[in-house]
Amino acid sequence: MKFYVGDIVQMKKPHPCGANRWEVLRVGIDFRLRCTGCNHLVLIPRTKFEKRVKKILERPEGIAEEITGEDNL
């Protein structure tokens, strides 16, 4: 599964604040995530992130169009 900056993902376990939505801020060997509930920042290795992510909830509009090949001209 490919991840992009701006994706909103759901993890298998919720954050202690109760929120279960994370915004991807950095993609690479490590992922920087921001909890959408309390704005807490977390840096986790790619391997742990890929194991813990459940699904992608939202994608930025520009990225979604590139992936599907749609063009709104």
Q: What are the tens digits of pLDDT across the range 4-49?
A: 999 999 999 999 999 999 999 999 999 999 999 999 999 999 999 9
Distance CA 59, CA 24 (A): 10
Rounded to whole angstroms, the Cα distance separating 65 from 71 reads: 7
Q: State residue 72's pLDDT score.
A: 52
Q: What secondary structure, in 3-state letters, does the chain show?
A: CCCCCCCEEEECCCCCCCCCCEEEEECCCEEEEEECCCCCEEEEEHHHHHHHEEEEEECCHHHHHHHHCCCCC
- Condensed to tens digits (0 to 9), the pLDDT of residues 54-68 reads 999 999 887 655 655
Q: Return the pLDDT at 45.
A: 98
